[in-house]
Amino acid sequence: MTHNYAGLASGNMASQNNAGRVSKPKAAALQGVAKMEAVAALGVTQCFFPPQERPALWALREHGFTGTDADVLAQAHANKPHLLAQCCSSSFMWSANAATVAPAQDTRDQRTHVVVANLKSMTHRAIEPPCTRAMLNAVFTDRDRFEIHHALAANADMGDEGAANHTRLFDAANANQPATHFFVYGIDAANPWLQPKIHPARQTLQASRRVAEVLQLDPAHCVFAQQNPDAIDQGVFHNDVVAVGNASTLLYHQDAWLDHDRVIDSLAQRVGDSFCSITVNRDELTIPEAVTTYLFNSQLVTTPDGFTTLVCPSEVEHHARASAVARRIQQDSRNSISRILYMDVRESMRNGGGPACLRLRVPLAPNSGNATRHATNPATGQATSANLAGIHAGCVFNKTRAAQLRAWIERWYPEELTPEDLADPQLLIRNRDALDALTQQLGLASIYPFQGVSPLKS
C-alpha cells in the first residue's frame, strides 16, 4: 500500500533512476495479481503473502521519535525524511528475497526447511525479517513438515538475500538423482579482494554456506559461485538479474559469474544427463541490457505438456535485442522452452523487481512424475491438494481468492503516492484497517506489530 519510489537501493539501477517518481500502488498490486493468475493458468499452484505493515512505526520509535503515531510521522518527515522513506518501503513485495527454501526430499530430516533472509545490507529491507518469519509460520502451519528458521544474525560477514541468489536444479529425467543447490554470492568476506568497486555486494559466501547448513543440505550437492564484480557494478545486485533455473534448465548470461566454465562443469556433473545450460553471450545482450530489460528475471515454468514457458517482463518484448534472444531460445529445439509469456509488472520493475522477484519457490512435490510421498500432477510434478495439507488454506491462490484480493486492493490501495504522502497519519490508519480486514478475510492469526506481534525478533 506504500509502494513508492524512494531510490533506496544502491546498485539497483531501476531504484536509483526512478527515485522521486510518483508511484501507483493500486496498479502495482493488481499487476501482481494478474501475474499470479497467468502463472496459475500454466498449472502452477501458488500461495501468497499479505503485505507487511508500513509505515514501520516501531522502527521510527527505535530511532528515538516519540509521542502519538501522528507525532512520530511528523517529526520523522521534518527531521529524517530518508529514514521515513526507509520505514515506508514496500520492498517485501519481492518474495524471492524473503527466504531460501530446501524441500523435504533434499534435507537430512526429510522436512522442508526455510531460512528467512536477513537482508542486512539495505536498511529499508533489514526491517522485514521478523514479520516475514511470522507470515511464513502462519502460512506453512504444519511444524512436522515445515521448519521456518530465524534469519542469520546480521553480522558483518553474513549478508543474506534469500532465494534471489539460490537456484535448485534437478535431473528431470531421473527422479533418483539428488537435486543440486546452486548458491551465488557477491563477496567472500574472508578473501574480500575480489569485490565490486562501485556498488555493494549484498550476499556473502559465509552466509550462503551457513544457509546451506541450516537447510540441512548435503554439501556434496551444493555448488557455490561468485558473482562477477563488474556485473554488480553494472547493476546486477542479485544473481536473479542474470540467471534463472528450473528443473534441469539453467538460463544465464556469459558474464554472470567468475570462473564461469568451472561453475557450469560442476553443475553439469551434479545435475545429471538432462542438464541443459542456455548461455546468452555479451554480443547478443550486454549486461546493461540485461539489467534494463530483466530478461533473466523471468519465471521458467514447466507446463502440463512437459515443455517450459518463459514468463518475461513486457520490457523484454519492447526491446529489439532482448526479444530476439527470447525468440532464439524459444526456437532452439535443444531446450524445453517452447513458449514466451509477456507480463506487465511495470510498477515493480521501476524499483528493480521482475516476475522472478515476485515469487518464492517452495517445491512441495517429488522431482518427477513418479509421485511417492504426496500426490502430484503427473505431468508437471506440481503440487496437488494433498501437498497443500499443512498450508493455510486462506493463502492458497485460486479464482475466488483472486477476485477477493482484487476487491480488497480496489477498496484500500491509493491510486498514486508521492514522497510527501508517506507522512500522512491517515495513510497509516488506512493501511492498518486494510491489513486487519485482510487477515480476517484470510482467517490468519495476528502477524503484525499493530496486532501485538513483536517486530524485533525474527
List interacting residues with ligand SUG (CB under 6 A).
5-9, 12, 15, 89, 91, 94, 96-97, 122, 125, 164, 237-238, 240-241, 351-353, 357
Task: Between 55 and 352, name the residue whose CB sits nearer to ligand SUG.
Answer: 352
Question: How far apart are CB 70 and ligand SUG at their closest, in Å?
Answer: 23
Cα 103 from Cα 105, distance rounded (Å): 6
- Three cell numbers at 378? 503427473
Q: Write down the least CB distance from residue 260 to ligand SUG, Å.
A: 20
Whole-angstrom Cα distance, residue 447 to residue 458? Answer: 12
Main-chain phi, psi angles of 254, to 5 degrees: -50, -35
What is the CB-side half-sphere exposure of residue 109 using CA atoms within 13 A?
Answer: 12
From the CB of 25, what's the least distance to ligand SUG, in Å? 12
Single-letter amino acid code for the residue at 169: L
Min separation Cβ 268 and ligand SUG, Å: 25
**CA of 410: how far to CAs of 35, 36, 109, 432, 456, in Å?**
17, 17, 44, 16, 31
Residues annotated as catalytic are 161, 238, 357
Q: In whole angstroms, how close is the CB of 240 to ligand SUG at the nearest point? A: 5
Minimum CB separation of residue 182 from ligand SUG in Å reads 15
Contact 313, 298 (CB under 8 A): yes
| Three-point CA angle 366, 355, 431, nearest 5° | 105
Task: Please provide the distance, in angstroms rounded to a whole number, between the alpha carbons at the two ends of the chain.
Answer: 23
Cβ proximity to ligand SUG: between 31 and 439 the closer is 31
Is the Cβ–Cβ distance between 315 and 258 less than 8 Å?
A: no
DSSP for 45-81, please give it. --B-PPPPPSS-HHHHHHTT--SSHHHHHHHHHHH-H
User: Is the CB of 122 or the CB of 231 nearer to ligand SUG?
Assistant: 122
* Tally of CA atoms within 13 A in the half-sphere of 27 that contains its CB: 14
Nearer to ligand SUG, 4 or 323 (CB): 4
Sign of the dihedral through C-alpha 37, 297, 203, 219: positive
Identify which of residues 117 and 442 has a Cβ nearer to ligand SUG in the complex.
117
Which residue lies nearer to ligand SUG by CB, 244 or 278? 244
Give the nearest distance from C-beta 436 to ligand SUG in angstroms. Answer: 25
Shortest approach of ligand SUG to residue 237 CB, angstroms?
6
Q: How far is residue 425 from each of residues 54, 400, 429, 436, 455, measured CA to CA in Å? A: 11, 33, 6, 17, 20
- Nearer CB in complex with ligand SUG: 46/367: 46
Q: How far is the CB of 55 from ligand SUG (least distance, A)?
A: 13
Instruction: Mark out the alpha helices in 234-319 (DSSP H runs).
Output: 260-271, 287-293, 314-317
| Closer residue to ligand SUG in complex, CB, 5/182 | 5
Nearer residue to ligand SUG within complex by CB, 181 or 238: 238
Query: Residue 7: left (phi > 0), alpha (psi -120 to 50), or beta?
Result: left
Residues 6+ positions from 407 with CB-CB distance below 8 Å: none
Residue 389's CB is within 10 A of a number of other CB atoms, namely: 12
Q: Where are the beta strands (DSSP E) in 75-193?
A: 99-102, 112-116, 146-149, 166-169, 180-185
For 187, the grid coordinates are: 563477496
Are the C-beta atoms of 323 and 3 separated by less than 8 Å? no
